Chain A
Amino acid sequence: MTAYLDGALDDADRERLEAHLAECPHCSEYLAQLRVTIEALGKVEVDDLPDDAVDELVGLYRRWRRG
């Protein structure tokens, strides 16, 4: 399934899978759930960085620049 989602199946395999999906509600549901899982992962928010974390790294940078 992941090869299918990656576009990595050759034409013959892809057609066989799609033919199966057309007939099999379980596999279709499974694939749909995988797609939703992947979409949810893509929406994972990255935390905002606290200011002191930025300051610490900037301090590092300035010390490095001073050599």
Chain B
Amino acid sequence: MAVLASAGVEDDASLVERLRTGDESAFVALVRRYQARLARLALATVGNRAVAEEVCQDTWLAVVRGVDRFQGRSSFKTWLFHILLNRAHTAVGKELRAGRPEQDVEERFDASGAWASPPVPWSERADDRIVAEQLAPRVRALLAELPDSQRQVVALRDVEGLSAGDVASLLGLTAGNQRVLLHRGRSRLRALLTADMGTER
């Protein structure tokens, strides 16, 4: 029996159960739910659309082949992303590195520890929910300007909502490295958004 969440949407665990029995509609539902994100993550990792497509197809094949063995110790989403990232990294034969130190972070403060150039307020109330909604399309575009390693962590943590532990193990990072990359990525996006606003005045 399918388990429906309160909005009438079937949850991943229920779809996985149906997929185990060879239910094609469950496969379709999972594809509709995740493929767009997989494609984006694959493209961000391999940088080539044709290869990214292949990586996604390989990923779904691995899912249907491996679903019997998937024990649900992690969430389906984490497992899926793990397969995708494995395939993507194999395709390009590269490993993520923690990234080189970046000047924009170190230069924010002057010798006395004060702000060299303080952040310019974005609006009357910088924690306004409406501001975040207006910024969402822009921040999505700006993600592309981050270095790969920062973009992956920010995408997985803040866009996809995976936990710090899951992201660290998905990307083969220590908890500390993951947090440093996350902070640099978020910080860079904040600065890019500020620059955006400056040019609009």
Contacts and interface: CB of A to CB of B under 8 A. Distances in A.
Interface of A: 1-3, 6, 8, 26-27, 29-30, 32-49, 53-54, 57-58, 60-62, 64-65
Contacts of B64: 61, 64
Contacts of A6: 164, 179
In this complex, the member of A27, A30, A36, A41 whose beta carbon has the largest number of chain B beta carbons within 10 angstroms is A41
A54 B119 contact: no
A60 B164 CA distance: 33
B130 to A, nearest CB: 10
B37 A46 contact: yes
B119 A36 contact: no
| Number of chain B interface residues as a range | 35 or more
Interface of B: 22, 24, 27-28, 31-32, 35-37, 39-40, 56-57, 60-61, 64-65, 115, 118-119, 121-122, 126-129, 131-133, 135-136, 138-140, 143, 154, 158-159, 161, 164, 179, 182-183, 186-187, 189-190, 193-194
Contact of B190 (A26, A34, A64): A34
A27 B28 CA distance: 47
Given A32-B126, A41-B158, A46-B40, 16 more contacts: A27-B115, A29-B121, A29-B126, A34-B187, A35-B127, A41-B143, A41-B189, A43-B133, A43-B136, A49-B35, A49-B36, A58-B24, A58-B27, A58-B28, A60-B61, A61-B64
Contacts of B190: 30, 33-34, 37
Contacts of A58: 24, 27-28, 31
Contact of B161 (A42, A47, A49, A61): A42
